[in-house]
Structure 1
C-alpha cells in the first residue's frame, strides 16, 4: 500500500500517476520525486548531469523496493536534458511521452542561484538564472500541456520561493525569475484551467539543503533566518513533500492558480 494512503483519504494516493520532476537529482526535486514514488506514482527524474541523476534514480529504486518488493524498478526512470535548451527539452519530452505516455504531473523545479550586486551583475548571469527558472518552466510546461490539454487533465506545479514575495540584496535575478514564475503560474491557469488542468505554485522558504550549506553554517545569517521565521528553524526538504503530494493528487482538483508558501510563517509576519 502506498505510504501516503490513509483510511478515509484515498484522494492523496498517487498510484498509477506518472510524474516528471525537473532538477531532481538532489535537494527539493529529489525529495518530491521520492515522496511521489512512495505515494504510488511512477516518477521520472531529470537533470543535466547524467551520472548524478542516474545514481539518484538507482538509489530511489532501491528504497522503493525496500518499502514494497512488489513495486517494479521500472517505476523510477530518468531523463537527461537541460531545461534551457528548448530543442533538447522538447525532444526529451517527446521521447518520454512516446515511451511512457504523457505525464499526469509536472513539477518545474530546475533552478540555480547566482548572487551579486545589480550594478556588477553580468548580463549573461542574469539571463542564465531567468532561463533556468522561468523560461525552462515555460518550455517544459508548454511541451507537456500540448498533450495534457486534449486529454483534459494534468497537474503542473511550479516551484516558486519566498523570494517570489520577499527580496534580499544580491539575489535580484533569482527574485525576478521567481516573481515571474508566479505570473506564469497564473497565466497557465487562465489559459489551461478551462481544459481541465490545475496549475499551482509551491513556494518553499529557506531550506537546509546542500546548496544552502554555506548559509546554514554562517552563524549570523542562520541566526537571522531562525529569528525571522516564526517556526524558529530552517526548513527541511521533507517539509515540501506533503504539500507537493497534495497538489499532485485529486485532493486539490479545485485549487488553481494559487501559490502555497511553505516557509514556517516567514511571509505572514512583519
Structure 2
C-alpha cells in the first residue's frame, strides 16, 4: 500500500468518476493528492471522503478551470505549496461533445477542444518545467478508445482524443532525456456517472444498458477503480521504461473485428 509513498500528485477533474477513483487510489498508495476540479464543492466533498477512506491528511481540493492556462498553473503552484514538488500529473478532466459535423456550431467545436485537448496541454505545460528541472516526473493523460476508434454520431470528441494521443507521444519523446515520462490510458466503457446518465436518458434505460453490455467481450463494463489501478502503475517507480505509450482498458472491445 505504499507504491506512491513520498510522491506528490495532482489530478484534474477529480471530483467524481475516474478522476475521483484515481485520487483515492493514489492516496491509499501513500501519495499526497491535489484534486484540481472546476466544481470546487464537489471536489471538497470528494477530498474529505478520500482523506477518511485513505486515512490521509495529505489531500486537498483546488478550484481549477483546465481551459485556462493561468488557472492550471496556479493549481500546480498551490499543490507544490501544500505538499512540495509535483511528481505526478494526471490530466483526467474531460467532457463529451457529440454533434453532427455539418450542423455543429463553432462554440461546440471550441468547447470540446478547450477541455479535452487544450486542457491536457495546459496541464502538461504547467507541470513540465518543474519536472524537467528536477529530472523526474510522470504525466498520465486520460484518453479514450475514441482516440483510435470511431463511433458515428460522436464528432468532434474523437478528434480531440486522437490529439491527446499525439500530444502524449510528442511530449514523451521530447522530454525522455530529462527522465520525464508521458503516457496515456484509453478507457472504453466505464461505469461513470456520465455513462449512467446516458443510459438513463434513453427511452428504456435497462434495454440501453443491456445493449452496451452485449457489445463487451467480457459482458460487463469497466469500473473507475480499474482505470485507477493502471494510473497507479504508470505513476509509480514500477514503470520506469514505459514512455510515450497508451494502455487500453476496455475488456478487449477494441480488438474485436465485428460483433
What is the TM-score when the length of structure 1 is the normalising length?
0.90
Gap regions ≥5 residues in structure 1: 6-12, 66-70
Deviation, 1:133, is 1.2
Deviation, 1:112, is 0.7
Deviation sequence 1:17-38 (CA, Å, 0-9, x none): 1110000000000000000111
Residue 30 of structure 2 aligns with which residue? 40
Contact 1:208/1:216 (<8 A) preserved: no
Deviation, 1:235, is 1.2
Contact 1:22/1:29 (<8 A) preserved: yes
Aligned length, in residue pairs: 253
Residue 220 of structure 2 aligns with which residue? 233
Match status 1:252 vs 2:235: no
- For the residues of structure 1 that align with 2:197 and 2:60, how far apart are their CA atoms? 32
Deviation, 1:228, is 2.3
- The within-5 A match list for 1:17-96 is 17-65=7-55, 71=56, 73=57, 75-96=58-79
Residue 269 of structure 1 aligns with which residue? 256
Match status 1:171 vs 2:154: yes
Contact 2:141/2:164 (<8 A) preserved: yes
Contact 2:187/2:249 (<8 A) preserved: yes
> Which residue among 6, 21, 33 is the counterpart of 1:16?
6
Contact 1:102/1:144 (<8 A) preserved: no
Contact 2:36/2:61 (<8 A) preserved: yes
- For the residues of structure 1 that align with 2:233 and 2:125, how far apart are their CA atoms? 23
Match status 1:196 vs 2:169: no
Q: Which runs of 4 or more aligned residues in structure 1 lie more than 4 Å from their structure 2 counterparts after TM superposition?
A: none
Match status 1:116 vs 2:99: yes
Contact 1:61/1:76 (<8 A) preserved: yes
Contact 2:188/2:222 (<8 A) preserved: yes
- For the residues of structure 2 that align with 1:212 and 1:108, how far apart are their CA atoms? 20
CA RMSD in angstroms, aligned pairs only: 1.4
Deviation, 1:219, is 4.1
Deviation sequence 1:75-131 (CA, Å, 0-9, x none): 111211100012222223223323432211100000111222112211111111111
What is the TM-score when the length of structure 2 is the normalising length?
0.93
- For the residues of structure 1 that align with 2:117 and 2:173, how far apart are their CA atoms? 17
- For the residues of structure 2 that align with 1:130 and 1:88, how far apart are their CA atoms? 17
- For the residues of structure 2 that align with 1:245 and 1:91, how far apart are their CA atoms? 24
Contact 2:76/2:86 (<8 A) preserved: no
Contact 1:160/1:181 (<8 A) preserved: yes
